[in-house]
Protein backbone atom coordinates (compact mmCIF):
# COMPACT_ATOMS: atom_id res chain seq x y z
CA UNK A 1 0.00 0.00 0.00
CA UNK A 2 2.86 2.37 0.89
CA UNK A 3 4.52 1.51 -2.41
CA UNK A 4 1.32 2.23 -4.32
CA UNK A 5 0.94 5.53 -2.46
CA UNK A 6 4.56 6.45 -3.25
CA UNK A 7 4.05 5.63 -6.93
CA UNK A 8 0.87 7.74 -7.01
CA UNK A 9 2.70 10.71 -5.43
CA UNK A 10 5.61 10.34 -7.89
CA UNK A 11 3.19 10.11 -10.86
CA UNK A 12 1.33 13.20 -9.66
CA UNK A 13 4.61 15.12 -9.14
CA UNK A 14 5.77 14.10 -12.62
CA UNK A 15 2.44 15.12 -14.18
CA UNK A 16 2.25 18.43 -12.36
CA UNK A 17 5.90 19.54 -12.16
CA UNK A 18 8.36 17.60 -14.30
CA UNK A 19 6.25 16.97 -17.42
CA UNK A 20 5.15 20.64 -17.96
CA UNK A 21 8.62 21.96 -17.11
CA UNK A 22 10.22 19.49 -19.55
CA UNK A 23 7.76 19.18 -22.42
CA UNK A 24 6.76 22.89 -22.65
CA UNK A 25 10.26 24.10 -23.56
CA UNK A 26 10.74 21.07 -25.80
CA UNK A 27 7.55 21.91 -27.71
CA UNK A 28 8.62 25.54 -28.03
CA UNK A 29 12.05 24.44 -29.29
CA UNK A 30 10.41 22.05 -31.75
CA UNK A 31 8.12 24.82 -33.07
CA UNK A 32 11.07 27.18 -33.39
CA UNK A 33 13.01 24.54 -35.32
CA UNK A 34 10.07 24.07 -37.72
CA UNK A 35 9.77 27.86 -38.22
CA UNK A 36 13.49 28.14 -38.93
CA UNK A 37 13.36 25.23 -41.37
CA UNK A 38 10.46 26.90 -43.26
CA UNK A 39 12.38 30.18 -43.33
CA UNK A 40 15.48 28.40 -44.59
CA UNK A 41 13.43 26.77 -47.39
CA UNK A 42 12.05 30.17 -48.45
CA UNK A 43 15.54 31.70 -48.46
CA UNK A 44 16.95 28.78 -50.44
CA UNK A 45 14.13 29.16 -53.01
CA UNK A 46 14.92 32.89 -53.33
CA UNK A 47 18.63 32.16 -53.72
CA UNK A 48 17.88 29.65 -56.48
CA UNK A 49 15.96 32.40 -58.31
CA UNK A 50 18.71 35.01 -57.86
CA UNK A 51 20.40 34.30 -61.20
CA UNK A 52 17.09 34.48 -63.07
CA UNK A 53 16.10 37.74 -61.32
CA UNK A 54 19.54 39.23 -62.04
CA UNK A 55 19.22 38.27 -65.72
CA UNK A 56 15.75 39.88 -65.92
CA UNK A 57 17.05 43.05 -64.24
CA UNK A 58 19.86 43.26 -66.80
CA UNK A 59 17.35 42.83 -69.65
CA UNK A 60 15.15 45.61 -68.26
CA UNK A 61 18.16 47.89 -67.69
CA UNK A 62 19.31 47.23 -71.26
CA UNK A 63 15.86 48.01 -72.64
CA UNK A 64 15.68 51.24 -70.63
CA UNK A 65 19.19 52.24 -71.71
CA UNK A 66 17.98 52.04 -75.30
CA UNK A 67 15.05 54.34 -74.47
CA UNK A 68 16.41 57.09 -72.24
CA UNK A 69 13.64 59.13 -70.71
CA UNK A 70 15.67 61.67 -68.77
CA UNK A 71 17.52 64.65 -70.15
CA UNK A 72 21.22 63.80 -70.53
CA UNK A 73 22.56 67.10 -69.18
CA UNK A 74 24.07 67.23 -65.67
CA UNK A 75 22.60 70.57 -64.55
CA UNK A 76 19.33 72.47 -64.89
CA UNK A 77 21.08 75.30 -66.75
CA UNK A 78 22.56 72.95 -69.34
CA UNK A 79 19.21 71.18 -69.65
CA UNK A 80 17.48 74.52 -70.41
CA UNK A 81 20.02 75.17 -73.15
CA UNK A 82 19.47 71.63 -74.44
CA UNK A 83 15.70 72.21 -74.59
CA UNK A 84 16.27 75.41 -76.61
CA UNK A 85 18.50 73.46 -79.01
CA UNK A 86 15.91 70.70 -79.42
CA UNK A 87 13.23 73.31 -80.12
CA UNK A 88 15.42 74.97 -82.78
CA UNK A 89 16.14 71.59 -84.38
CA UNK A 90 12.43 70.70 -84.53
CA UNK A 91 11.50 74.09 -86.05
CA UNK A 92 14.33 73.86 -88.60
CA UNK A 93 13.20 70.35 -89.59
CA UNK A 94 9.58 71.52 -90.03
CA UNK A 95 10.52 74.70 -91.90
CA UNK A 96 14.04 74.58 -93.41
CA UNK A 97 13.61 77.93 -95.12
CA UNK A 98 12.10 79.57 -92.01
CA UNK A 99 9.05 80.84 -93.88
CA UNK A 100 6.38 78.44 -92.57
CA UNK A 101 7.56 78.38 -88.96
CA UNK A 102 9.86 80.53 -86.83
CA UNK A 103 10.70 80.94 -83.17
CA UNK A 104 9.49 84.35 -82.04
CA UNK A 105 10.65 84.05 -78.43
CA UNK A 106 11.82 81.48 -75.91
CA UNK A 107 12.70 81.82 -72.25
CA UNK A 108 13.71 79.31 -69.59
CA UNK A 109 11.51 78.80 -66.56
CA UNK A 110 12.83 78.07 -63.04
CA UNK A 111 13.60 74.39 -62.44
CA UNK A 112 11.23 72.56 -60.08
CA UNK A 113 11.96 69.49 -57.98
CA UNK A 114 9.18 66.90 -58.10
CA UNK A 115 8.74 63.90 -55.79
CA UNK A 116 12.02 64.72 -54.09
CA UNK A 117 14.13 63.17 -56.85
CA UNK A 118 13.20 64.47 -60.29
CA UNK A 119 13.94 67.97 -61.54
CA UNK A 120 11.50 69.42 -64.08
CA UNK A 121 13.27 71.76 -66.48
CA UNK A 122 10.98 73.93 -68.62
CA UNK A 123 11.17 76.45 -71.42
CA UNK A 124 8.38 78.79 -72.53
CA UNK A 125 8.29 79.03 -76.33
CA UNK A 126 6.41 81.37 -78.67
CA UNK A 127 6.27 80.38 -82.36
CA UNK A 128 4.66 81.78 -85.48
CA UNK A 129 3.82 78.87 -87.75
CA UNK A 130 1.47 77.46 -90.29
CA UNK A 131 -0.73 74.73 -88.84
CA UNK A 132 1.03 71.81 -90.63
CA UNK A 133 4.47 73.08 -89.58
CA UNK A 134 3.33 73.59 -85.98
CA UNK A 135 1.90 70.05 -85.90
CA UNK A 136 5.24 68.72 -87.18
CA UNK A 137 7.17 70.67 -84.53
CA UNK A 138 4.97 69.48 -81.65
CA UNK A 139 5.07 65.89 -82.90
CA UNK A 140 8.87 65.97 -83.21
CA UNK A 141 9.25 67.34 -79.68
CA UNK A 142 6.92 64.89 -77.95
CA UNK A 143 7.83 61.74 -79.88
CA UNK A 144 11.62 62.01 -79.70
CA UNK A 145 14.17 60.95 -77.13
CA UNK A 146 14.77 62.03 -74.42
CA UNK A 147 11.15 62.31 -73.33
CA UNK A 148 9.81 65.87 -73.63
CA UNK A 149 6.39 67.21 -72.68
CA UNK A 150 4.42 70.05 -74.26
CA UNK A 151 1.76 71.67 -72.09
CA UNK A 152 -0.02 74.98 -71.49
CA UNK A 153 -0.54 75.34 -75.24
CA UNK A 154 -2.15 78.57 -76.41
CA UNK A 155 -3.03 79.15 -80.08
CA UNK A 156 -4.05 82.46 -81.64
CA UNK A 157 -4.89 82.87 -85.34
CA UNK A 158 -2.65 85.37 -87.09
CA UNK A 159 -4.51 88.25 -88.73
CA UNK A 160 -3.56 90.64 -91.47
CA UNK A 161 -3.61 94.41 -91.02
CA UNK A 162 -7.24 94.58 -92.20
CA UNK A 163 -8.33 91.95 -89.62
CA UNK A 164 -8.70 88.94 -91.94
CA UNK A 165 -7.25 85.49 -91.10
CA UNK A 166 -3.75 85.02 -92.42
CA UNK A 167 -4.25 81.75 -94.38
CA UNK A 168 -3.99 79.30 -91.53
CA UNK A 169 -1.04 80.81 -89.68
CA UNK A 170 -1.07 80.72 -85.87
CA UNK A 171 0.86 82.18 -83.01
CA UNK A 172 1.53 79.36 -80.59
CA UNK A 173 2.91 79.55 -77.09
CA UNK A 174 3.60 76.52 -74.92
CA UNK A 175 5.82 75.15 -72.18
CA UNK A 176 8.38 72.54 -73.25
CA UNK A 177 9.55 70.40 -70.32
CA UNK A 178 11.86 67.50 -69.61
CA UNK A 179 13.12 65.78 -66.48
CA UNK A 180 16.52 65.34 -64.91
CA UNK A 181 17.14 62.48 -62.52
CA UNK A 182 18.91 64.09 -59.54
CA UNK A 183 21.11 61.05 -59.02
CA UNK A 184 21.36 60.20 -62.70
CA UNK A 185 22.66 56.93 -64.03
CA UNK A 186 26.00 57.37 -62.29
CA UNK A 187 24.63 58.24 -58.87
CA UNK A 188 26.23 61.71 -59.02
CA UNK A 189 23.87 64.43 -57.78
CA UNK A 190 22.66 66.84 -60.44
CA UNK A 191 23.38 70.54 -59.95
CA UNK A 192 20.21 72.53 -59.41
CA UNK A 193 20.13 76.27 -59.81
CA UNK A 194 17.99 79.00 -61.22
CA UNK A 195 17.60 78.78 -64.95
CA UNK A 196 19.47 81.55 -66.79
Give the span between the Cα atoms of 128 and 95, in whole angstroms: 11
Q: Pick from 132, 85, 127: which is nearest to 105 by CA?
A: 127
194 has pLDDT over 50:
no
Mind listing the pLDDT tens digit for each residue in 21-76? 777 788 888 899 999 999 999 999 998 998 898 898 888 777 766 556 788 888 88
3-class state of residue 178 by DSSP: strand
User: Which range scores top for mean pLDDT: 1-10, 27-36, 92-101, 151-160?
Assistant: 27-36
E strand or H helix at 64, and its extent?
helix 19-66
Cβ count within 10 A of residue 2: 6
Least confident of 33-37, 68-72, 86-90, 164-168: 164-168
Report the phi/psi class of residue 91: left, alpha or beta, with left for phi > 0 and alpha for psi in -120 to 50.
alpha
Amino acid sequence: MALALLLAVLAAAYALIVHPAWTGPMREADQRIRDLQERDQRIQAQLRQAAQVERQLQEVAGALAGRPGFLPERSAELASAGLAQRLETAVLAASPDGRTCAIHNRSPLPAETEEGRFIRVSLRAHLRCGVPALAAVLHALESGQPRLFVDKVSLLAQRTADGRDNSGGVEASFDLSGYLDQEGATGVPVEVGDAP
